Amino acid sequence: MCGRFAVTLPPDAMAQLFEAAPSNDLPEVPNYNVCPTNQIHVVMEDAGRRLVSMRWGFLPHWYKAPNGGPLLINARAETIAEKPAFKAACRERRCLIPCTGFYEWTKDENGNRLPWYIHPSQDSALVFAGVWQDWERDGQAFRTCAVVTCAANQAMSKIHHRMPVVLAPDNWAKWLGEEGRGAATLMTPAPEDALSFYRVDPAVNSNRAKGAELIAPL
C-alpha cells in the first residue's frame, strides 16, 4: 500500500518533467510527510497535460460527506476495474502522482512501528499510477484521487506485501490514455532493482512531523 510519501521537486520542475501546464494553487514543497487528505500534485489529461492539486483520498459520488465512508487512499489493481468506487475512474480518469519517495513500516519484536523510506534507485522522482474523481455536495467540492497498488515485488515484500504501481516515463502517456488502450497491462510490480530503501527515524510516525531529517538514513 502507500500511506505517506515525500515530495521535494519544485512545481516548475514537475511541470517541465511531465510537459504539463501548472495550476496556480499547487501545494507547497518540499513536503517530507504527505498524509492522507492532504492536497497533492497530480498530472491529469484535460485537452493536454495539466499539473493540478487534488485531495489524496478518493470520494465516490455517493458519499454524502467527505467522511461519509472509508478513506480510499489506495485502489487495488486486481479489483479496480470491478469495484463500484473505482471502475469508472479506471476507464476514464487516470492520472500520474509524482513523489520523491514513500514510507512503509515493519514491526520489531515488541510491536514498535519501524519506518522505511523507499525511493527510486536512479531517477529523481517516482511516478505512481492514480485515478481521480470530482465530488460535490452541499456546497462542498473536491477533486480527489487514489494511488493504484499491486502485489509487492520480491525486494519490497521484505517490508510490505503491497506496493504502489510505479510507472516508467515511457508508460505515462499510455496510463493517461494518450496512446489508446493497454493501461491495464501497466498495473504490475516495479522491476526488482527500481527501488531502494533504508530505515528512517520513527519521528515520521507522527503525521505532524516535518523537515528533511525525516528521510535521513537512520
pLDDT tens column, 43-82: 999 999 999 999 999 999 999 999 999 999 999 999 999 9
Q: What residues are annotated to the active site?
A: 2, 104
Which domains are assigned to the chain?
5-101+125-190 (3.90.1680.10)
pLDDT band at residue 180, thresholds of 50, 70 and 90?
A: confident
The torsion defined by the Cα of 20, 149, 40 and 64, in degrees rounded to 10, comes to: 120
pLDDT band at residue 2, thresholds of 50, 70 and 90?
A: confident
**Cβ contacts of 111 within 8 Å, gap of 6 or more:** none
pLDDT (mean) for 91-99: 97
**Cβ contacts of 36 within 8 Å, gap of 6 or more:** 3, 56, 57, 71, 73
What does the alpha-carbon distance between residue 170 and residue 41 come to, in Å, rounded to a whole number? 20
